[in-house]
Amino acid sequence: MLKVMRAAAENPGWSIVVPVKTLVIAKSRLADLAGPHRAAFAVAVAGDTVAAALACPAVARVVVVTGDAIAAEALGRLGADVVDDPQAGLNAALRHGAAHAVRLAPGDPVAALQADLPALRPAELATVLAAAGETEESFLPDAAEIGTTFYGVRAGLPFRPRFGGESRARHLAGGAKELVLPGVASVRRDVDTPADLADAAGLGLGPRSSAVVARMWNPGEATLIDVQATVRSFDPNTRSGSVFLDDGTELLFDAAAFDAGPLRLLRSGQRVNIALDGDRITYVTLSTFPLPD
């Protein structure tokens, strides 16, 4: 037992702070592509970022800083600790989240992670955190090597994020060490433009982002999406109901969609897989069952 406690003390988990904008202003450069799905896309991308971070063995907790109630509810359901945004700018929000994290676990290192990493892989984040643990203050540049996607400090050190615009240069000028690591493309690929999204899709989007992107890119095509949703309601008399996607979007399904699957009954709160034709559900089955080929 003493050996386990010593190992835990020598290898503390990271507190990851993720800032999430109010949805009405999020992803403005993707407005033309995303259309009516822009807010849902922002929540989905943040959801995939947070879920991947929480799945990383080196992460002890994720603190989301947001002033948006929809994002707060969706990300809180994933297991994030959500705190209100002080509305004083991005870096002030990050410092606010970091202070909260330090109060929760003063002995753990703290990092900021951008919320728009829809292809984030837990193993790649673990590689970044391992490298960050070897230096007092460090950062990871974005794929364009202009901005920053990750900034971290060891426990007890000042947390001084310099995000926004040409933040790579500001982090360097402030004395933070730049992490130069192979094999961490998913941690560097933030998404602000359609070209960024195409690059992220090439790496492999998370399930929430994939579901929304399928509706953005294939509005009139039948698109099977192997992603889970949660049953909101079901009427056994009409065999119709509705589900919540993990980004908070509610979609209705009719008797034809229910009858296309193998089920006889659904209960509120059950997890299901669905197939979509645009925004219309065409097939519903339990999450433990695959979608049809």
Binding residues for phosphoenolpyruvate: 148, 164, 167
Beta strands in the chain (DSSP E): 14-20, 59-66, 81-84, 110-113, 137-141, 148-153, 177-178, 222-235, 240-245, 250-253, 271-277, 280-286
Residues 39 and 27: their CA atoms lie apart, in Å, by 8
At residue 61, φ and ψ (nearest 5 deg) are -160, 155
Which structure tokens are listed for 190?
């933030």
- Annotated binding site: which residue ranges? 148, 164, 167
Exposed/middle/buried for residue 107 (C-beta within 10 Å: 0-12, 13-18, 19+): exposed
Rg (CA), the chain: 20
Long-range contacts of 237-240 (CB under 8 A, 24+ apart): none
